[in-house]
Amino acid sequence: MRIVLGVGGGIAAYKVASLLRLFTEAGHDVTVIPTEAATRFVGVATWEALSGHPVSNSVFDAVHTVNHVRLGHEAELIVVAPATADLLARAATGQADDLLLNTLLMAGDCPVLMAPAMHTEMWQHPATEANVETLRSRGVTVLEPASGRLTGADSGPGRLPEPEAIFTAAMALAGAAASAASAAMPAVKADMDTAPAAGPAAAQPAVPPLAGLTVTISAGGTREPLDPVRFLGNRSSGKQGVALAAAASAAGARVRLLAAHMEVPAPAGVELVQVETALELREAALHAAADSDVVIMAAAVADFRPADVAGTKIKKRDDVADPVINLVRNPDILRELVEVRDAASRNQLIVGFAAETGDAGGDVLDYARDKLRRKACDLLVVNQVGRDLVFGEDTNSVVILSRDGSEPQEASGSKSDVAAAVIDRISAELSRAVPPA
């Protein structure tokens, strides 16, 4: 694949040498375009040696090959790292004052991924937030920066994600763009059959299916404290929720991951909100849902919590009876999200998960249909659970039920395969809900 790697003028430019290595070792042909400021951190000779191509940022070099047009046209993927506040601003306003900005403007339907790095204040400044919003609304995938130590003594969100994480996100984006392009092929072909000149459909960019949308996903299992060292928890690993977050991100969405206890790390490029209890998850979910187009409740939420939480460790004592744990019911977050959405007449798709075992009173699908009625969400992803089934495993097998009563859809395979099927189904539901103009 032909990749253009734009490098911005930030200290993290040195890390991009490793990213370049990952791309070339995977067999990709990479042209590096550093900004003028980037060359103050890492010299042109380094980029030339590692990429095996001449490197320039001037539109006046290699003029006979019309570089600024050619690179944008030929690129199959453009990755910009570190995307500084200045670079994001220049890209958002469509400036074309150097070769990298020209290339971005000439990129047409090529997928573009930007990995920001800057100080927290700059990242959280309304000007930067507006620029990121603008770029995302145009289909550019702007990763969330990592959190941690920054250039000075400060720390917070603003670190460049690790090269491996950028590499994974870039490959996922290129894969999603390629499958979107091949899905669009028949329409383009039909157009070509009837119109000798390339019609408007042929010029349509391959916009990822969830580009411009915000998707909130809860994952993992809540922990309900009994005392400062003990809790009531469940077996959820968070793997399915994390796979959904990665799939939604690859489909171009801005993703918020509300993470209760998880055994796996969150994917790069998602906004991470960490929660512990069902009550904390409820607050985070209601807040995040206010500006989300899709909410997926994949977390295993404890239905009950201890009525009293001891302030100090509960000790066993011979002179008093063993303690009894009284439980109170937690709110049903999914049900509440649906109620709030309906009360606000919000255009939002809400997806629940159901873990069922089935018993003498009914099978898994009987219970799931009943749950779908009670929760009133749009889609319910149902899986059969048991001690050796699903929890912590890398594979899953689900049935997707819809409130409109359409045929149950089965999906199975790795948790990534299942996540991709769920995200595809969500994209299909959204495109049915909003017929094209």
Active site amino acids: 234
User: What is the rounded distance in angstroms from the CA atom of residue 35 to the CA atom of residue 55?
Assistant: 11
Pattern 244-273, binding to ligand CTP, x per CB under 6 A? ------------------------------
In whole angstroms, the minimum distance from the beta carbon of 305 to ligand CTP comes to 10
User: What is the rounded distance in angstroms from the CA atom of residue 394 to the CA atom of residue 314?
Assistant: 37
User: What is the rounded distance in angstroms from the CA atom of residue 211 to the CA atom of residue 220?
Assistant: 25
In whole angstroms, the minimum distance from the beta carbon of 336 to ligand CTP comes to 8
- Residue 330, token pair as written in the block: 């937690």
Q: DSSP letter at 84? A: -
Pattern 55-84, binding to ligand CTP, x per CB under 6 A? ------------------------------
Stretch that binds ligand CTP, among 81-89, 107-115, 256-264, 298-306 (CB under 6 A): 298-306
In whole angstroms, the minimum distance from the beta carbon of 243 to ligand CTP comes to 15
User: What is the rounded distance in angstroms from the CA atom of residue 377 to the CA atom of residue 352?
Assistant: 6
Q: Which is nearer to ligand CTP, 181 or 385 (CB)?
A: 385
Q: DSSP letter string over 241-289?
A: HHHHHHHHHHTT-EEEEEE-B-SSPPPTTSEEEE--SHHHHHHHHHHHH
Stretch that binds ligand CTP, among 35-43, 125-133, 225-233, 328-336 (CB under 6 A): 328-336
Among 55, 117, 355, 399, binds ligand CTP (CB under 6 A): 355
* 349 near ligand CTP (CB under 6 A): no
In whole angstroms, the minimum distance from the beta carbon of 401 to ligand CTP comes to 12
Among 59, 301, 349, 422, binds ligand CTP (CB under 6 A): 301
* 123 near ligand CTP (CB under 6 A): no
Beta-strand relationship, 271-274 and 254-259: parallel
- Residue 418, token pair as written in the block: 């299942």
In whole angstroms, the minimum distance from the beta carbon of 395 to ligand CTP comes to 19
Among 353, 418, 419, 427, binds ligand CTP (CB under 6 A): 353
Distances (CA, A) of 208 to 138, 179, 227, 304, 311: 10, 9, 46, 40, 50
Residue with tokens 């995200």: 423
Stretch that binds ligand CTP, among 6-14, 31-39, 205-213, 293-301 (CB under 6 A): 293-301
* 330 near ligand CTP (CB under 6 A): yes
What's the alpha-carbon Rg for the chain, to the nearest Å?
24
* 283 near ligand CTP (CB under 6 A): no
* 398 near ligand CTP (CB under 6 A): no
Q: Which is nearer to ligand CTP, 4 or 400 (CB)?
A: 400
- Residue 363, token pair as written in the block: 């099978």
Kindly state the helix (H) or strand (E) to which residue 338 belongs, with its residue range. Answer: helix 333-343
Q: Is the peptide bond before 265 cis (omega within 30 degrees of 0)?
A: no
Among 4, 19, 288, 297, binds ligand CTP (CB under 6 A): 297
* 379 near ligand CTP (CB under 6 A): no
User: What is the rounded distance in angstroms from the CA atom of residue 130 to the CA atom of residue 237?
Assistant: 35
Q: Which is nearer to ligand CTP, 355 or 398 (CB)?
A: 355
**Which residue type does 202 have?**
A
User: What is the rounded distance in angstroms from the CA atom of residue 289 to the CA atom of residue 283?
Assistant: 10
3-state secondary structure of 210: coil
In whole angstroms, the minimum distance from the beta carbon of 381 to ligand CTP comes to 8
In terms of Cβ atoms closer than 10 Å to its own Cβ (0-12, 13-18, 19+), residue 181 is middle
* 303 near ligand CTP (CB under 6 A): yes
Stretch that binds ligand CTP, among 27-35, 182-190, 348-356, 396-404 (CB under 6 A): 348-356
Angle (deg, nearest 10), helices 239-250 and 415-433 = 50
**How many residues belong to the site for ligand CTP (CB under 6 A)?**
13
Which residues of this chain interact with ligand CTP, rule CB under 6 A? 278, 297, 299, 301, 303, 330, 332-334, 352-355
